Structure 1
Amino acid sequence: MFDSLDEELKAAVCTWESRPGGWQTLQFDSGTWDDADLPALVEWSMASACVAEVSDSDLALVTGLNATGQRWQTWLNLDIAARLLAEEPEDLEDQLLWLETPEFHDAVRHRHAELDAEIPTDAEGAVVWAAASGIRVTPQTVRIEELLRSHETPVENLFSTLLDELGFPPGR
């Protein structure tokens, strides 16, 4: 898959962290990865894959997919995600003014509660994905839930810890 990339795009990819057992962690420059690339990567590699789309080291949307099509997704750093995903009023005129209103803070609390309620399902999806990936260690779902509720930054470290906790061999 990566052999077919043009030279400019190849230059935007670097190895981030090697993991035993042939697992690779790559880092792409912003804007070079698309969600539609994940199924192509899984098909090409015939192995599970997981992507963390990181924003300013404060927020990440993590998506995993295995060869059978089982997919899971979660956010890292719910506080930032809730702010980003808070529903804005349809008649919003000035987003900067909106950010200072009690209504914005209520919308953030509401969205945070929704995201938090999804964590047990997200954690279970991650564990099922890891098991389908051939990982022999049984991850602790409670520990995965704790990680998904973490506010740790940079989220790159949190993502690496998530992979560790899912049973992937620790990086070198």
Structure 2
Amino acid sequence: MGFSGTLVFCRSERPLAQAPVFGGLPQEVRDETAGHGEWRPRAGGWRTAQVGGDWWDEAMLRDLVRWSGAPACLGFVFDSDVVYVVGLSPSGREWSVTLNPKAAAALQVDPPAGTADALGWFASPQGREAVARRLATFEAEVPEAARDVLAWAAEAGFGAGVEVAAVERMLRSEPEVFAEELFADLVDVLGFPAVQAA
């Protein structure tokens, strides 16, 4: 069983569990985040927190951006297979993208009603074609998403010299193991500071 929850990325000089927007979460969630939910910080105060459960929404992202005064994004993780990422900047620039699109395509296709053997249907020509059509939809969104994400990073002062093609390749990539890795890869490819040594 993989992780399901939210990855929270923003700039903060203190641990993210201490940010006011976390105050509305249950105490046990805040304690878990403070205890072992925060990834190693990046230079300049850029931080990522891993929050289990379904607590975050896009209204909280707006609160986070307002509080930090900097671009921020949320990665909604499904069982460590797929991450749906939404970003927002102080200027109001918004974007969204799905990481690990091949897995997402398979998850978003349902066998026809009454199908007795769902796995067999996915392996059939009809199933493979349905997944391929959904994947093509994700693929068509990549070029615009890459430009939007780069513009968002630029508002944070990063991304200069990063080629759109490099971001596109990252958005089409698959994780070695967990989809959360792709969230970190996205932040890296956009030119944000590297994770600080332990």
Q: Deviations over 1:140-166 (max 9, x none)?
A: 211111111111232222211211110
Query: Letter of the aligned partner of 1:158 in structure 2?
Result: L
Gaps of 5+ in 2: 1-19
In the alignment, which residue of structure 2 is the partner of 1:144? 167
Counterparts of 2:154 and 2:116 in 1: how far apart (Å)? 43
Helix, strand or coil: the match of 1:53? strand
Helix, strand or coil: the match of 1:16? coil
- Which of 122, 128, 133 is equivalent to 1:105? 128
Instruction: Work out whether 1:116 is the aligned partner of 2:135.
Output: no
In the alignment, which residue of structure 2 is the partner of 1:39? 62
Helix, strand or coil: the match of 2:58? coil
How many residues were matched structurally? 170
Q: Deviations over 1:10-58 (max 9, x none)?
A: 1242211301011111110121222332112111222110111122222
Counterparts of 1:96 and 1:59 in 2: how far apart (Å)? 24
TM superposition shift of 1:100:
4.8
Helix, strand or coil: the match of 1:17? coil
Counterparts of 2:111 and 2:90 in 1: how far apart (Å)? 37
Counterparts of 1:20 and 1:161 in 2: how far apart (Å)? 16
State the identity as a percent: 36
Question: CA RMSD for the aligned pairs?
Answer: 2.0
Assess if the C-alpha contact under 8 Å between 2:111 and 2:122 holds in 1. no
Counterparts of 1:128 and 1:88 in 2: how far apart (Å)? 38
Query: Letter of the aligned partner of 1:35 in structure 2?
Result: E
TM-score by length of 2: 0.77
In the alignment, which residue of structure 1 is the partner of 2:185? 161
Gaps of 5+ in 1: none
TM superposition shift of 1:75:
1.0
TM-score by length of 1: 0.87
Helix, strand or coil: the match of 1:114? helix
TM superposition shift of 1:96:
5.2
TM superposition shift of 1:94:
4.2
Instruction: Work out whether 1:84 is the aligned partner of 2:107.
Output: yes
Distance 1:96 1:60, change over 3 A: farther
Query: Letter of the aligned partner of 2:59 in structure 1?
Result: A
